[in-house]
Amino acid sequence: MTPPSTILITGASRGIGASIAEHLAAGGHRLALCYRSDRGAADQIAATVQAAGAEAEVFQADMSDPQETRELPARVAARFGGIDAVVGNAGMTKDGPFFTLQADQISSVIRTNLTGTLRLLLGALPFLEQSAAGRIVLVSSLGGVYGTDGQVPYSASKGGLIGVTHWLGELLGPKGIGVNAVAPGFIETDMTAALARERIQPFLDVSALRRIGKPEEIAQAVRFLLEPGYVQSTTIRCDGGFAR
């Protein structure tokens, strides 16, 4: 990613996605900021990264809509002339005891987080293959690595993303396309803000760093994985030393 590149980021209007966009802005990249519903927030992030030297445009797409998701890469490529990297960050959760979750709730999580991302990546593949150094970075989760109670569908979807990393990493590696993932632990975002502090604190107490993570700390890891290198099919755990 050292030379200016076109990077498509999903879930870019807030939280980790917004932080990734801000972190990449200084590199002078062309950023395609994808959002689902909050146009105002996406515009705000676009303005921030433009002020920092990046070119940016916002794209609306609902990751649970198969056609919108498959077609998003072509819209981005039409605007920027190609795509060099995809950061698959969009995600949602329906938490609760597994016994209480209905099929439509489970389905919406799987469709948005896992198969939506899968459709997006496969739609972007022709453009990544034309890039000199195509890169894919997926934002998985601690739940995908070791599981979390109350988040069975979410964990399954994020575990599936680790599987996507293994699958595409093997298939696309010989083409020079890097495929990796990060697995954040508890990070200061809207998603974790909705959780009760007493739910989070025990996790923090048994992690090596004993504190909640910041979105920019995930963005650092994503930026590293966007650089050309020898890392492939790997999931970097950014969890303050929780998983061990």
Partner 1 sequence: MNGVLLIGEPDSLMDALRAKLSGLPVAVHELGDHAPAGAPVGRPDGDRQGSAVAVLDAWDMSIAPIDRIIFGPVAIEHDLPRTADDIERLALAHETALLSFLMQLQAAGRLLARHRGGQIWVITPDQSARYLVPISTSPIDTMARRAAVKSFAREIRRMDVLVNCLEVQLEFDQVPADQWRTPRNRTNVYASRFRKSPATSVAGFLCGLLAQADLPMSGLVVPVGIGLTEQSI
Minimum distance, C-beta of residue 117 to partner 1, in the bound complex (Å): 10
For the bound state, the minimum distance from the C-beta of residue 41 to partner 1, rounded and expressed in Å, comes to 28
CB of 46 to partner 1, least distance (A): 28
Residues 64-103 that bind partner 1 (CB under 8 A): 66, 70, 97-99, 101, 103
Per CB under 8 A, the list member of 14, 111, 135, 237 interacting with partner 1 is 111
What tokens does 100 get? Answer: 């209480």
* Nearer to partner 1 (CB atom), residue 21 or residue 183: 183
Closest CA to 87 of 28, 148, 175, 22: 22
Window 149-188: residues binding partner 1 (CB under 8 A):
149-153, 155-160, 162-164, 166-167, 170-171
Smallest gap from residue 195 Cβ to partner 1 (A): 15
User: Is 154 among the catalytic positions?
Assistant: yes
Contact 136, 123 (CB under 8 A): no
**Which residues bind to partner 1, rule: CB under 8 A?**
66, 70, 97-99, 101, 103, 106-107, 110-111, 114-115, 118-119, 122-123, 125, 143-153, 155-160, 162-164, 166-167, 170-171
